[in-house]
Amino acid sequence: MNREPTQGASAATEPIKITLDLSDPSMSFGVLTRGEDRTVFQVGFGRNGITCAGSRFEEGYTPLGRFKVNAILSNDRFVMEPALIAQSGRTEQELKATLFRNMNAIDFSGDGQTGEYGIGYVSLAPVDSVEQPFAFNTYDGRFRWYSFAIHGSNNDQRIGQQVTGGCLNVAEPVLKTLLETVRLGDEVVISAQGPCTP
């Protein structure tokens, strides 16, 4: 299992910090630190707002708190915790060959558009919090996995907006950097300027 960043990419040296701004979603940002290098990037979040750390996962809301990377999915990279692979009931080779492609081919909003995860998907598991209620399943004839994640978009206008189903979205160049940098177990801390919903 490849736990290291892509060859040539520096590993994150601190938790990835994301701050959501409820009064002006376009001011929501993340910070990726790699030694002396800091990448600051715009982030979009859940259309219904945010839930307080440790409270719950709910469609349309982005949860606050501490999370760890438990899977990294793209057309070029597949890294997933062994327990998740076992939970899927599929082999690692099957998941590597089809999972991200299947997930990204689904038209979630029914508008005829696919590719809603952009070029990749970095799954985040809660740390010291309630378990997320998401699982592997078959949707529209495709085996997929739905979890809380940082992912891309098929529409750059959605970045930095309060429009997602609860995940965090980032622009393609940022996601490319994250896909090259993050490792299983890396920590992501999500906080907010503004009140959370208990």
**Cα–Cα dist 7/157, whole Å:** 31
Question: Considering only CA atoms, which of 181, 179, 175, 177 is closest in space to residue 156?
Answer: 175
**Cα–Cα dist 137/34, whole Å:** 36
Whether the Cβ atoms of residue 197 and residue 191 lie closer than 8 Å to each other:
no
pLDDT given at position 109: 66
Which of the residues in the chain have pLDDT under 70?
A: 1-9, 108-110
Mind listing the pLDDT tens digit for each residue in 66-111? Answer: 999 999 999 999 999 999 999 999 999 999 999 999 999 877 666 7
* Secondary structure element (H or E) that encloses residue 84, with its range: helix 82-88
Instruction: Tell if the pTM clears 0.75, that is, is over it.
Output: yes
**Cα–Cα dist 16/152, whole Å:** 16
pLDDT given at position 34: 93
